[in-house]
Amino acid sequence: MKSRLTALVAAMLIAPAAYAQGEAIYKCVDAEGRATFTNVGPGRDCKRLDVGPITTVPAPRLPARTASNGGERVTPASFPRVDADTQRARDAERRRILEDELRAEEERVARLRAEFNNGEPERRADERNYARYQERVQRLQEEIQRGENNIAALRRELALLRP
């Protein structure tokens, strides 16, 4: 019902505009009753509509970029500036923090791998039930994988930093 109402409103709006221009507009209805309008010639289940001229309005043009700013963003004068030495110190601190995190994560993964023992960790006293043992093995695998993903992310982050 809604699509038919939409089609009727569209036809009423298009009708006066397309008629004076002389272009043929066709209303096509598919098997589900959805109406589409086209000017590409009659197809199956299409009827020609007598409509007036079609009015088109071009989209406004974007202002041309001048050669002076090269299309780059200009930072406002009131924007706080950081001198080069301060930025270098910040970058060095960030690199140090990332390297510390990487070293700690590598040590953690090494401990987990040693405990994992190639998929056969030592059974603990509280793991008389085999299901508990399997849960711990699964948890160790997941923690090792998560640690390896963290290591890869930290290495990517370090690679993005300026030397």
Helical spans, DSSP H, in the chain? 2-21, 84-116, 130-160
CB neighbours of residue 51 within 10 Å = 24
pLDDT digits (tens, 9 = 90+) for 102-141: 999 999 999 999 999 888 888 888 888 888 888 989 999 9
pTM of the predicted structure, to 2 decimals:
0.49
| Whole-number Å distance between alpha carbons of 46 and 29 | 7
Expressed as residue numbers, the domain containing 28 is 2-49
Alpha-carbon span 81 to 75, nearest angstrom: 10
- The string of pLDDT tens digits covering residues 57-93 is 888 888 776 555 555 677 788 888 889 899 899 999 9
How many domains, in total, are found in the chain?
2
Residue 37: band (very low, low, confident or very high) from pLDDT cuts 50, 70, 90? confident
SS3 115: helix
At 19 the pLDDT is: 44
Instruction: Give the Cα separation of 25 and 11 in Å (integer).
Output: 9
Query: Do 93 and 137 belong together in one domain?
Result: yes
- What is the distance between the alpha carbons of residues 14 and 23, in angstroms, rounded to a whole number? 11
Q: For residues 90 and 153, state if they share a domain.
A: yes
Looking at residue 147, its pLDDT comes to 96
